[in-house]
Structure 1
Amino acid sequence: MAASYWESTQRRYWQFSKDELAQMREKLEESEQSLVQMFPLPQRRHLSIYFNQQLNRLGKRLGVRQQALATAQIYLKRFYCKVEIRRTNPYLVIATALYLAYFLTLDISRLGECEFFMISEMHSQLIVHQPYRTLTSLQSDFFLSQEEGNLALSIVNDHYMTDLPLLYPPHIIALTAILLALVLRPNNSGGTAANMAAATTTALAQVQAQAQAQAQMPTRTSGSSGNQNASGSEKDRQQEARAKVQRYVAFLTESAIDIEGMVDCTQELISFYECHEQYNDKITREQINRFVKARGLDKS
């Protein structure tokens, strides 16, 4: 892996603005207008959910670890920034992405051809920096409980089904996941998209307000000790939770973190979770299989 994300090909060649990403996808559809009109597909978030499910099923069968699955998801996103999906057999592309991420020895017809195609479209830039390292290193700094850490990890895993890996650095994703885990809390009831939006908006607004006031009167929140007292009262647990959020807010206030980027990441994740509620696996699968079979992409 490259020594630093900031010097990596990921940052130099595979991080885009939302406008850049939209323009790339628009050009792809314009180049294949007849296919686009002939084979309508579900919205992109639903396709990402479906691809994620197929990757997880294949990965579970082969015993592939989560970080390799995450890398495969990024390869899929990069590849489909360059190639219109209707030109490909997505199942073959999924298997190839997993092969590249984990160097499997799969006896799948045309896998070698698809591997060359994918590597070529990614210009052999296969190194991927992920949020997991940042998340692991910061868990103890913010005294995350095991449940909070697991929730943050789950959010990081979910972000691979969005455009965020193509838009923001890994550390921004990790910090957003920690924030969401702190404001939602595993034992907090009603962890809906609406509650997520309200809680994170409040926390990030607090960061911005403190940042403005810091020049005149720097704010530091000592919080409480990192010991997790399982026998504490509900009031104690609430105070501990507030202290964790305040500690986190103080950290963001005093750092040079891209708060606007975190706001955007939060909004994208909220939109994704709302979209996930309308996901229909059967419809998505049928629409993909229709163009794969109609164009003979499932044949050798």
Structure 2
Amino acid sequence: MATDFWASTHYKRWIVDRATLRQARADDLLYIDDPEHLAFLAIYFAEVVGKLGKKLRLPQRAIATATVFFRRFYLKNSYCETDPFIVIAACCYVAAKAEECPAHIKNVVSDARQIFCHEPYNIKHFPSDNSKLAEMEFYLVDDLECDLTVFHPYRTLLALCKSGNGSEDASAQEEEAGEVGAGIPADDGPRYWGTGQGQLELPPNGLQTAWFIVNDTYRSELCLLYPPHLIAIAALYLTCVFHPATHETVSAVLAASSSAPASSSASTTPDPPPRRSSRQAAERKKPAQDPLEFLAELNVSLPLIATIAQEIISMYTLWDRYKEDSGSVATPDSSRNGEDDGPVVTPALLTVVLMKMREARLLEIAHPSSGRPVAVNKMLERTQAAG
């Protein structure tokens, strides 16, 4: 199993550009009323993967791998021609195997039915036959081209950071990060570690905040656009903004650096040399670490890191409008939330949007406007005929 990201299929095959993403969603755009709903569907499906993964008691790393498998599958397929829920179940099933925490196929089917067949999804056609999931597993692995090794940003976070948390938290984070996709070897470190010495020392819970930000990025398609180590560095950059203790550290260092030139210019007579005891105390006292300087010394493009950070913030803006609501089924004419950021979007609404897309596509296949038959993926069509 590959441990070098630069030599992996993840880097060579599955880092794509935005034009590829737009092309992947071209068919879906023909059957959706509001193109913005496609961005919400990315959040919606990540939430569904997370719910099923937690129900199966999968570690976060396996849930992240399942989400990446789902994103990769829909680079080659469209929502309107497939059943995303059977694909989600297959992604969790395959990811559990790939991350060496396998789940029994019967448990996957039963837990998936328990989640999908009730509010807010109401997917009554989800199969109860285990063979349907096994068949979908075959199609999924085929579309993934058997590239089942996924690199995640978690290892980079642990390699770059020294957390103020206890040893138990550190060992738990090591176990959660896993050995698969361990990151970039020491020999290749200068490619992005740069000349920075040591590790970034974060205040207590600072690393946990960065970890949570990385988890949140899987609600977008950033895992298809950027290498995982860049996402990890962008999460650290946002931690300097969002985490109160880390933000205070950055502010204190910046204030000290700005006042240092003023104090040196105001002094006209040199200070007497310190006594031996005070000199030893000064040597023992380490200067405060500047997190921004540490990030700047990494051999990465800071404008690119800022771009990724901005995309994460944009994802949070959309996510603020995504409200979990298991009440009555919503309609596309949902009421606004009373603010200027747009209407509230619920899972029930997106389920309706998804069903309408599929119905419109099936109607187009049955009665094409050109009079010619429409080509479909027969393998997936057989899998979706479960019931």
Provide the TM-score with structure 1 as the length reference. Answer: 0.73
The CA deviation at 1:291 is: 4.8
The CA deviation at 1:146 is: 3.2
CA 1:288 to 1:25, structure 2 compared with 1: closer, same or farther past 3 Å? closer
The CA deviation at 1:167 is: 1.1
Does residue 132 of structure 1 match 2:154? yes
1:36-86 Cα shifts (integer Å, max 9, x gaps): 337877623211211122112111211110000000000011000100111
**Which residue of structure 2 lines up, in the alignment, with residue 117 of structure 1?**
139
The 5-angstrom pairing of residues 20-39 of structure 1 reads 20-26=20-26, 29=27, 36-37=30-31
**How many equivalent residue pairs?**
244
CA 1:186 to 1:49, structure 2 compared with 1: closer, same or farther past 3 Å? farther
The 5-angstrom pairing of residues 20-169 of structure 1 reads 20-26=20-26, 29=27, 36-37=30-31, 43-103=37-97, 104-107=103-106, 108=109, 109=129, 110-140=132-162, 141-169=199-227
| Cα distance in structure 2, aligned partners of 1:19 and 1:291 | 22
**Which residue of structure 1 lines up, in the alignment, with residue 351 of structure 2?**
285
CA contact (8 A) 2:67 2:91 kept: yes
What amino acid is the match of 1:299? A
Provide the TM-score with structure 2 as the length reference. Answer: 0.57
**Which residue of structure 1 lines up, in the alignment, with residue 298 of structure 2?**
255
What amino acid is the match of 1:22? R
| Cα distance in structure 1, aligned partners of 2:50 and 2:133 | 19
| Cα distance in structure 1, aligned partners of 2:232 and 2:223 | 11
Structure 2 unaligned blocks of 5 or more: 98-102, 110-128, 163-198, 255-284, 323-344, 363-380
Structure number, greater radius of gyration: 2
| Cα distance in structure 2, aligned partners of 1:225 and 1:78 | 47
| Cα distance in structure 1, aligned partners of 2:32 and 2:312 | 31
The 5-angstrom pairing of residues 152-191 of structure 1 reads 152-186=210-244
In structure 2, the residue corresponding to 1:151 is in which secondary structure? helix
Structure 1 unaligned blocks of 5 or more: 190-198, 204-223, 227-242
| Cα distance in structure 2, aligned partners of 1:20 and 1:157 | 24
1:2-37 Cα shifts (integer Å, max 9, x gaps): 1211000011000012233323433xx1xx78xx33
What amino acid is the match of 1:19? A
| Cα distance in structure 2, aligned partners of 1:20 and 1:90 | 20
CA contact (8 A) 1:9 1:125 kept: yes
Q: Which has the higher helix share?
A: 1
1:147-206 Cα shifts (integer Å, max 9, x gaps): 2111101100011111211111111111111111122214699xxxxxxxxx9xxx9xxx
In structure 2, the residue corresponding to 1:146 is in which secondary structure? coil
| Cα distance in structure 2, aligned partners of 1:164 and 1:185 | 22
User: How large is the RMSD of aligned CA atoms in angstroms?
Assistant: 2.8
What amino acid is the match of 2:210? A
| Cα distance in structure 1, aligned partners of 2:61 and 2:220 | 16
CA 1:65 to 1:298, structure 2 compared with 1: closer, same or farther past 3 Å? farther
| Cα distance in structure 1, aligned partners of 2:33 and 2:142 | 26
